[in-house]
Amino acid sequence: MIKLTNICKCYNSKVLDNLSYKFEKGKIYVVKGVSGCGKTSLLNILSGLDNKFDGNYTWNDKSVKEFTKLETEKFRNKIGYVFQNSLLLSKLTILQNLMFIRDDKDSIYSYAIKLGVFNLLDKYPEQLSGGERQRIAIIRALLINPKLILADEPTASLDNKNSIIIANMIADMSNMENIIIIASHENCFDDVADEIINLNYGEVCSVDKKIKTKKHSNQEIELIGKTKDAGKASILNYVFMRNKEKYKFLRLLPTVIIMSILLCCISIQGNFQKEYIKKIYSKYPLNVFSLTNNQYESLKESYDFITYDNYTIDEKDIECHPLLNKEISGFNFQGVIEFGHFPEKSTEIVVTREYIKNCFNTENYKNFVGKTVSIGGYSYTVSGILSDLSQGDEKDLVYYNSYYQTNNPNKVFIPYDTMKEKGYKVQSKTKMVRLDDLYDKREEYKSIRSFLDGPISVWDAKIIDMKTTIDMIYMIIMITVCIAGLIALIFIKNEIQLELFYRRKEIGYLQLFNVSKKRIRLIIILERLVKEVLSLIYAVILYSFVAVILKYCVDINGIIPIQTILLFFICILLYSIVIVVIPFNRFIKHNIVTLIST
């Protein structure tokens, strides 16, 4: 039972003035009066939406004002609403609209058959007439098994024939356990009402009570007892159907581009060193480097070094140096040998320009290729002549071992095996070593670099210098992206707040139709997450396409590890949840009446 005692409600003036009344179970009440007489205000108080009033409102002998937050929520869940407009969600079919309120097809089909709208379930609201939409609204109210049914001008937009039909259907909703209260200024409900309450600007001026022997309709609508919450499928239907235009690729393109740039940054940071090493490995002997004798003694037990001893051959006015095999020799670097070619036979050698100029008194270097010279009593053929290595350019890197760095410019480079056979070993401060797959064994590489407290070789120094440059560029890009992200965050926050504002009535009415705040929050979050997930998928596809092109066209590997992509996904999704939840939690605190009336 509902009991109102001395209810007063004021806005600029009194809307309800000391209104007292009892509403009993099993009865239909019609509240009549001209517009502005307080009918809607009375319904708002009866529904518990408005608790800012004077007087007392008791529901089953307990004051509504004393309800806890949980009790208020449970109380509202017992109320079914039928409004002047059906307020169906236009993007969903009729069946999806109803399943969104309660995921129970059996109940929906049963009500639809009894109300004659079963054949309309697959249609959209705009395909239905006003009377048909109101029938669906009645089913929506019935689905929650309401104890109190409130109808606010439910036939105001209908013709007389449909108004009578709807009036009879609302009458059929009555049973011994519920109360039906209808606010209307029309007469179509007079025949089905148990009591007609006439309001005159906030006061009950008269009550017409009727004695009825039976319900208006010979076929009452039977309320089905079991209740379910809307399932996930209904929520996902709502999310996808409502936002299908927003989820198209072109609408997501700006977000996709930003995410693709972020993936590029991650790829550069993760793959640069490996790819740069691969690039210069084709030019430089990266796995050959020199160590001081002390360094060598400290490391030799821990690593499988291949050691190259220093050999020489005595010859007046010249210095003889061993020349490593072509694949690990710095002389194989393009442009180091200016004339001729790298030695292909054990008796072929490479010489400097100064050797030819000082020992043979000629600067015709090109014609000197193929000449035979005698060194240490053995004859050798000059296969190559070094370019001018005093220009300070990149080719100076051939002197990656300190024993090349001497004051004598008259240098001759003889294949290592030939030097080992015909020369003799000499002591030096350094040893040349080779460690195969040095850059493939990341831990060994880091350990040696850490031990040496710097680059392993001049080749490695190039990698470090370039990586430092790339890291700086990467940092600049990331700072730029972060700043852009912060700006985007502000815009997204404003976008969400603006969207919530425009959806305020929808959010308010969803709560009236027994959709909890948690479910509405879940919907808003899912809408954002679906957008971000689709953008991420498109971004990964776009980036993968670019990575494949780079791989097959220029042999650059830009693939990002799956765990990195997953971490990127998680960060983006968490970011999306945060930027939705914070403004939503503030917004949802608004009173429902405020949401639906602004």
User: For residue range 78-111, what is the model confidence (pLDDT) as tens digits?
Assistant: 899 998 888 888 888 899 899 888 888 888 999 9
Residues recorded for the chain: 598
Q: Closest Cα to residue 28, out of 234, 251, 181, 190?
A: 181
| pLDDT value of residue 273 | 65
How far is the C-alpha of 397 from the C-alpha of 465, rounded, in Å?
Answer: 14
Q: Closest Cα to residue 352, out of 314, 309, 408?
A: 408
How far is the C-alpha of 155 from the C-alpha of 162, rounded, in Å?
Answer: 8
- Range list of H helices, 210-248: 232-242
DSSP three-state, residue 68: coil
Q: Closest Cα to residue 56, out of 94, 27, 28, 18?
A: 18
Q: Closest Cα to residue 21, out of 197, 210, 176, 180?
A: 197
- Token pair of 305 as six digits: 């070094």
Q: Going by C-beta distance under 8 Å and a sequence separation of 6 or more, which residues neighbour residue 433?
A: 288, 289, 290, 291, 296, 305, 306, 307, 308
Q: Closest Cα to residue 462, out of 394, 388, 401?
A: 394
| pLDDT value of residue 227 | 45
CB 558 within 8 A of CB 544: no
Amino acid at position 415, single letter: P
Q: Give bridge partners of residue 56 from the DSSP assignment.
A: 5
For residue 269, report the phi and psi dihedrals to the nearest 5 degrees: -65, -40
DSSP three-state, residue 564: helix
Q: Domain coordinates of the chain in residue numbers?
A: 2-228, 249-275+464-597, 311-426
Q: Going by C-beta distance under 8 Å and a sequence separation of 6 or more, which residues neighbour residue 518?
A: none
| pLDDT value of residue 216 | 44
| pLDDT value of residue 156 | 83
CB 558 within 8 A of CB 471: no
Q: Fill in the DSSP letter of residue 185.
A: S
- Asked whether the whole model's pTM tops 0.95, one would answer no
Other C-beta atoms lying within 10 Å of the C-beta of residue 61: 7
- Token pair of 431 as six digits: 């040893």
Q: Going by C-beta distance under 8 Å and a sequence separation of 6 or more, which residues neighbour residue 289?
A: 400, 432, 433, 435, 456, 457, 459, 460
| pLDDT value of residue 576 | 82
Amino acid at position 192, single letter: V
Q: Fill in the DSSP letter of residue 286.
A: T
End-to-end CA distance of the chain: 32
At the fourth CATH level, the homologous superfamily of domain 2-228 is P-loop containing nucleotide triphosphate hydrolases (3.40.50.300)
Q: Which residue has tokens 């056979």?
A: 421
| pLDDT value of residue 399 | 45
How far is the C-alpha of 527 from the C-alpha of 222, rounded, in Å?
Answer: 37
CA dihedral 444, 449, 455, 459 (to 10 degrees): 0
Q: What distance lies between CA 505 and its chain's CA centroid?
A: 28
Strands 288-292 and 337-340: unpaired
* C-alpha Rg value of the chain to the nearest Å: 44
- Adjacency order of strands within the sheet including 62-63: 14-23, 2-10, 54-59, 62-63
| pLDDT value of residue 313 | 92
538-to-154, 175, 258, 572 alpha-carbon distances in Å: 47, 55, 11, 14
Q: Fill in the DSSP letter of residue 89.
A: -
Q: Fill in the DSSP letter of residue 189.
A: T
Q: Going by C-beta distance under 8 Å and a sequence separation of 6 or more, which residues neighbour residue 542?
A: 256, 260
- Token pair of 348 as six digits: 């072929």
Q: Closest Cα to residue 231, out of 43, 105, 100?
A: 100
Q: Which residue has tokens 């929506």?
A: 140
Strands 179-183 and 28-32: parallel
| pLDDT value of residue 368 | 94
| pLDDT value of residue 317 | 87
DSSP three-state, residue 202: coil
* Cβ density class 98-130: b for 16+ within 10 Å, e for less: bbbbbbbeebbebbbebbebeebbeebbeebeb
Judged on CB neighbours under 10 Å (0-12, 13-18, 19+), 304 is exposed
| pLDDT value of residue 395 | 45
| pLDDT value of residue 17 | 87
- Token pair of 494 as six digits: 């404003």
Q: For 421-444, how does the pLDDT look when each residue is reduced to its tens digit (9 = 90+)?
A: 999 998 888 888 888 888 777 788
Strands 62-63 and 337-340: unpaired
Strands 348-351 and 311-312: unpaired
| pLDDT value of residue 396 | 46
For residue 302, report the phi and psi dihedrals to the nearest 5 degrees: -95, -15
Give pLDDT < 50 ranges for the chain: 213-230, 392-397, 399-400, 403
Q: Closest Cα to residue 517, out of 65, 72, 47, 67?
A: 72
How far is the C-alpha of 266 from the C-alpha of 495, rounded, in Å?
Answer: 28
| pLDDT value of residue 390 | 56
DSSP three-state, residue 431: strand
